[in-house]
Structure 1
Amino acid sequence: MPTTTGSAGSSGWNTNAHGSARWMQPHEAAAVDLFSYNPRKPSGEVTSIILGQDSKGRPCFLNRQGHVLVLAPPRSGKGLGFVQPNLAAYLGSMVVTDPKGENAAVSWQYRRDVLKQNVIVLDPTGKLASYGVTPPIPTHGFNPLLAFDHADYAQVIDDIGLVADALLVVKEDSEEQHWRDGARQFLTALLTYVVFFEDRQNRNLLFVARLASQLETPHEDLFGALAFNDHPNPEMRDVIARAGAWWGLVNEKERASFVSVALRSLAWLNTPVWHDHLTRSDFHPYELKEGNTTLYIVCPFDKLEQYSPWFRLVLSSCILAIIRAPNRSPRPTLFMLDEYAATIGRLAILEQSIPFIEGVGGRYAMIFQYLSQMQTLWPDPAYHGIFASAGAHIFFNANDEYTSGYISRYVGKYSAPDMGPCGISYVARDRLMPDEVRCLPETDQIVFMRGYRPAWLSKLDVRSHRNYKDCLLANPVYAVQGRDVPALGDKSEAPLSKAAALLRREESGDLSVDKINATLEKLYPDKQMRYDDKIYGYDERCFNPATGETELVFRPVIHKDFLASLMFP
């Protein structure tokens, strides 16, 4: 039987010969459980994660295993459309990397008072206090070395090595690999000494920095104490002794280089903000496994590079707790890793845990701006493994050639009819061309779920969605900047419902465009509304702090057909 030749009406013509890409259909959405919110599944294997919303404003969820990967450029609504909706809806423990502190500011009270979570905010630089929020948002301290209290000896030795890895700022596989390895040995020895032989009040990273600088004791004496230690456990005594004996096997020149790299990695401790934060612990990472703790890790962008060891260390401690803690909540701990490339970079324990952490009660939502960020962090073939680990990929507002081309290829090709001089034939065409990806409305997003056709969804704006708009506080970042960013549309407003009726009547030919504009002017006397066959939007008067005047700001318009289906069910 022919598959690629013959007329369009011929028997046996295969119209999928060049591809069969298409969008997710309603029966497939039902099969993937897209519209069910299942926060308390008895199996405890999965808990609903918000992906977006459909054209009727119904929230769409990932109710299957797998991490979530979000790719969207700066200022495209990742926080409003993904991070904050899940902060309002996710009932399990969460670990949130929050550089600006805005996610903590808008959601901490709801998660504490309504979801009954124990909320911990780590904000050593006082970023949240700078917003002037009243009442002040409570902040906490965390000493990662106190997490070793009552831990198994063998595990402590392994975990000390992970702490040293998190502290080192020299990248692996670089020209400084040899010096990095030596600095790691040096820091591991210092951490071993502090954890096993110092009093509890000295068991912190500030004391480690003092030891590295020889402010407490010369290095020779410290390594000698390790080499000839009196630990009560003979096996541990031997392991600790070898950590001390290493120093004597290194020549003087290399010692200086190793210490130099270690001191560079500890330089972030040379500021007073850490003295209170690192000398106390207001929570233990093991509490995350109980299912009722939300941890916000706040560090402003201008301090990210300087304080990245602390950021990585807190995250490493939490991941280790998920892996090690014996108890397990029915709901997995969700790691909301916002601005992944800027805040985390390469972190061995995170990368190694991606394949198996779901099996021990953890889950990752990794947020990047561009595919190129992922490829910079993980060159081929590691990049493909990280990408494939996600059970859902969310793309929106792609505006670079590489990402838009990737989405186009990911959606796939279909067999498109083509009229030629000899009749109709079928040719391969991308279901969504790269230029079409770049021109998608700002409110659209493409979601891929493992084993299913891609879904064309819309972003869920937490400020206006009927399910979540009353859950979160106002964003203090906007108040500080003197601006008010309007939501994408509130479905509960009566005037908008009337506008929806206008749209439907115009579609049926019952109303003219002029009549619609006249009615919109009555509905919105304080706004300049306009409507035509292609666009629907409005200008809004906003205060400009730069000029001190009120100016007209035209909001991005939305295609009429899209608005009619999306904003008005």
Structure 2
Amino acid sequence: MKNINKGSLLFFVFSVIFFTYLTSGLLIFFLNGYFNLNLFKLINNNYDLLFTYKAIINNYPRIWEAIFYSASFYSVVFFILILLPNKKSLHGEARFANRNEIKKMGLFQDKGLVVGKLESGELLKWKSSEFLALGAPTRSGKGVGIVIPNLMEWEESCVVLDIKQECFDFSSKYRRDILGQEVYLFNPFDFRTHRYNPLTYIDLENETTRDNDLLDFVNLLYPADGDSTTVFFNQLAQNLFIGLAYLYKDLALTKNGREFLEEHNLNVEWSMCGLLNLSAGFDLSIPSEEEEDTKITGLDDTFEYLEHLEIISKPTKEKLNSYFTIDSQNTKSGVMSSFNAPLMIYRNQPITTATATSDFDLRDLRKKRMTIFIGITPDKLAIARPILNIFFSQLLSVNTKELPQKNPDLKYTCLLLLDEFTSIGNMPILKKGVSYIASFHLRILMIFQAISQLEARTPDGYDKEGANTLLQNMGVKIYYTPNEFEEAEKISKRLGDTTFKAISKSYNHGKFLEAGSSSHSVSEQKRALMLPQELMELSQSKALLMMNYQKPILCNKAFYYNDEYFINKFRQVSPFMKSIKNPNHKDWEKMLQLNETNIEIPIQTLNNNS
């Protein structure tokens, strides 16, 4: 039995009234006994569309009885009709949503993420706490159709994985001057950058949180996966990192430690490069009255000397003992190699400078409006993956400790706009937390080239099971024209099948001089809503939208460069664009060359690290 909705109820009422009006006038003739051969002639001469109206006005005999019988009959008939289950097609009823259905989906909003555009020019904006995924091949228009339009539209906090720094060039000034946000660019391979130090978020003086925070962090640096040998050395490297963090605390955050550093003109830093340097120990020459000066070199000698001076605390000794008590020199060397492996990149001078301190606080993303562009260029993506993974894992970690309902200061939503999403590599925290992250006012717009990228094996992707988990938690999935058949086939299956009636004909020509015969039959056949080859031929201006529990939508891409709505936003910050009525490609290039839409970024030097 079907549920009776508002539409069904209106159909029922209208149908009963309409047919009752038409037939109750006819029923009057029968109820008043006009059963003779001239009945049909009598009806033909007297009945018209106004007859029932006249009968009611003039109170014809038995008119109300006729209306009652007619209304009762049609009430039963149409009630049964609306309760009858719809006949299901044999192979499915997949189709694209129409405008009214799109409206019911809530896509005609004043605010929200821009997901597409109708032929009429209306922008489709999705206002929800759910996540969004975009599958689009290289140079298919994801930047001009999704990324930049949303950076000009999204008014709350945003973190952008900006591989070409194109997003920064187009939108940073608008987000700062018009949307009133604090705007940062983090590019650790360039001195022109704001700074981010991941150790900023570990408070060594907080006895309640420091061990858990250190443990979470070393699990990112030295994941306990792989073969047994890798796991063994990584676990010992974790212990060494934590021990060196405690050693730093003893030196930099205690009175005796600071006096020792001042006496020997030494410096230690709470940074990745700083801990890497500390792992090498100090080179000291200690004066002696009776013998030659004592030489201190390497971590073992340094630790022994600091212990002699009673600078080493008991917890530090306990943490470092797992390293110093290793008997085999080869094993000890292997542990140190494992410890050094993910940290050596921090000896690169720009990276050392860019990670010495923090100019922004990831914990503020939900407290105030701010935008952080991660502007690592494509040529550095491979070596930058560990840094990117730490950044986004730490961002999710520090922002999923407290629900907004419990802290009124957490009043903004932060959008993570992740172009080239798989370039970060596998993030275990995202795979585990994708189902609950939205509760913390974090929203993800992840962009990948193909589903196969997501399904790649760890550490590059999330395997098939993990990719499926991610996609299932995306409220909207957008696909652009695929360029590989395998990808088109996956999208075709997601769109579903429809049923059509196929007519088959056969002919029998008969024998000589005899007439032939023909026959035909009709059968229901299955057809994909869009075949893989049709998807691969889809216009580059089109996009497919799939929302959970809704019909798919075939719409246009919301290109910023030919939409007056977005062009006017650029005119607010670009004097050049104000004078251009219908900007073309060269006009947009000129605007960027004039640097009218981006902000100045400080140039870091060794002297301004603090």
Q: TM-score, normalised by structure 1?
A: 0.71
Q: Which residue number in structure 2 is paired with residue 445 of structure 1?
A: 543
Q: 1:414 to 1:72 in 2, by over 3 A?
A: same
Distance change in 2, residues 1:174/1:442 (3 Å): farther
Alignment correspondent of 1:85: 149
Pairing partner for 2:320 from 221, 244, 252: 244
Deviation, 1:172, is: 3.6
**Structure 1 position 184 matched with structure 2 position 238:** yes
Q: Which of residues 360, 371, 374 is equivalent to 2:454?
A: 374
- How far residue 151 of structure 1 moved from its aligned partner, in angstroms, is 7.8
AA paired with 2:214? I
**Amino acid in the other structure paired with 2:412:** R
Query: Which of 279, 290, 293 does residue 212 from structure 1 map onto?
Result: 279
Amino acid of the residue matched to residue 415 of structure 2?
A: L
Does the CA contact (< 8 Å) of 2:97 and 2:551 recur in 1?
Answer: yes
Please say if 1:173 is aligned against 2:240.
no
SS of the residue aligned with 1:467?
helix
SS at match of 2:563: coil
- How far 1:392 moved relative to its partner? 0.9
Deviations 1:74-108 (A, max 9, x none): 11111111111111111111111112111111111
Amino acid across the alignment from 2:322: W
Q: Which residue of 2 aligns with 1:61?
A: 125
Say if 1:167 and 1:312, in contact at 8 Å, map to a contact too: no
Cα distance change on mapping 1:172 and 1:463 into 2, 3 Å: farther
Give the corresponding residue for 1:511.
none
Q: State the partner residue of 1:141.
A: 195
Contact 2:369–2:412 (CA under 8 A) maintained in structure 1: no
Tell me the equivalent position of 2:106: 33
Aligned equivalents of 1:380, 1:446: Cα separation in 2:
22
Secondary structure of the residue aligned to 1:68 is strand
Aligned counterpart, 2:366: 289
Letter in 1 for 2:487: T
8 Å Cα contact 2:251-2:311 kept in structure 1 = no
Residue 417 (structure 1) aligned to one of 501, 505, 526 = 501
Match of 1:339 among 411, 420, 424: 420
Assess if the C-alpha contact under 8 Å between 1:201 and 1:279 holds in 2. no
For the aligned residue pairs, the C-alpha RMSD in angstroms reads 3.4
Do residues 435 (structure 1) and 511 (structure 2) align? Answer: no
Deviations 1:368-392 (A, max 9, x none): 1111110111123222111211111
Contact 2:224 2:235 in 1 (8 A): no
Question: CA-to-partner distance for each residue in 1:281-337, whole Å, 9 max, x for gaps?
Answer: 211111111140101111111112222222222223322231136555443111111
Q: 1:163 aligns with which of 217, 228, 239?
A: 217
Residue 591 of structure 2 is matched in structure 1 by none
Q: 1:364 aligns with which of 421, 424, 444?
A: 444
1:404: how far off?
Answer: 0.5
> Does the CA contact (< 8 Å) of 1:396 and 1:442 recur in 2?
yes
1:508-557 deviation per Cα after TM superposition (whole angstroms, max 9, x unaligned): xxxxxxxxxxxxxxxxxxx9xxxxxxxxxxxx999xxxxxxxxxxxxxxx
Secondary structure at 2:399's aligned position in 1? helix
1:398 aligns with 2:478: no
Pair 1:219–1:73, CA change in 2 (3 A): same
Q: CA deviation at 1:152?
A: 4.6
SS in 2 for 1:125: coil
Percentage identity across paired residues of the two chains: 21
Structure 1 residue 360, shift from structure 2 partner: 1.3
How far 1:208 moved relative to its partner?
Answer: 1.0
Distance 1:470 1:191, change over 3 A: farther
Could you tell me whether the CA contact under 8 Å between 1:445 and 1:458 is conserved in 2? yes
Give 1:124 deviation, angstroms.
2.7
Partner in structure 1 of residue 468 of structure 2: 384
1:456, distance to aligned residue in structure 2 (A): 0.9
Cα distance change on mapping 1:292 and 1:13 into 2, 3 Å: closer
**Alignment gaps of 5+ in structure 1:** 1-10, 39-47, 130-138, 232-236, 475-489, 495-526, 528-539, 543-569
SS of residue paired to 2:469: helix
Report the counterpart of residue 350 of structure 1 in structure 2. Answer: 430
- The runs of 5 or more residues in structure 2 that have no matched partner are 1-83, 254-266, 284-296, 506-519, 573-579, 588-610
Q: Does 1:23 align with 2:96?
A: yes
Q: Distance in 2 between matches of 1:174 and 1:400?
A: 34
User: Distance between the aligned counterparts of 2:549 and 2:107, measured in 1?
Assistant: 13
Q: Map Cα deviations across residues 57-80 of structure 1 (whole Å, 9 max, x no partner).
A: 211122223211111111111111
Q: Which residue of 2 aligns with 1:563?
A: none
Contact 1:145 1:195 in 2 (8 A): no
Change in 2 beyond 3 A, CA 1:356/1:452: same
User: Are 2:155 and 1:74 equivalent residues in the alignment?
Assistant: no
TM-aligned CA deviation for residue 255 of structure 1: 2.4
Which stretch of the first structure deviates more once superposed, 432-441 or 381-390?
381-390
CA distance in 2, matches of 1:346, 1:80: 27
**Structure 2 counterpart of 1:458:** 556
Q: Secondary structure at the match of 2:341?
A: helix
CA distance in 2 between counterparts of 1:27 and 1:407 reads 24
CA gap of 1:328–1:29, structure 2 versus 1, over 3 A, is farther
- The secondary structure found in structure 1 opposite 2:464 is coil
Alpha-carbon contact 2:236-2:322 (below 8 Å) kept:
no
Match of 1:298 in 2: 375
Which amino acid in structure 1 is aligned with residue 473 of structure 2?
S
Quote the offset at 1:261 in angstroms: 2.1
Structure 1 residue 120: Cα displacement: 1.2
Indicate if the aligned counterparts of 2:273 and 2:343 stay in contact, CA closer than 8 A.
no
Shift in CA distance, 13/82, structure 1 to aligned 2, threshold 3 Å: closer
Deviates more, 1:158-167 or 1:286-295: 158-167
Change (3 A) 1:249 1:433: farther
Counterpart contact for 1:121–1:140, Cα < 8 Å: yes
- Which residues in structure 2 correspond to 1:249-268 (within 5 Å)? 250-252=326-328, 253-268=330-345
Cα distance in 2, alignment partners of residues 424 and 266 from structure 1: 70
Which residue is 2:169 aligned to?
105
Gap change, CA 1:205 and 1:443, over 3 Å in 2: same
Question: What CA distance in whole angstroms lies between the structure 1 residues aligned with 2:559 and 2:244?
Answer: 49
Deviation at 1:222, TM superposition (A): 6.9
Query: C-alpha distance in 1, partners of 2:586/2:393?
Result: 47
Structure 1 residues 403-552: aligned runs within 5 Å: 403-421=487-505, 422-472=520-570
Q: Judging by fraction of residues, say which structure has more helix.
A: 2
Instruction: Measure, in 2, the Cα distance between the counterparts of 1:182 and 1:457.
Output: 54
| AA in 2 matched with 1:119 | V
Summarize deviations over 1:13-71 as a string: whole Å, max 9, x none.
94612111111222321222111133xxxxxxxxx211111222211122223211111
Task: State how far apart, in whole Å, the 2-side matches of 1:126 and 1:23 are.
Answer: 47
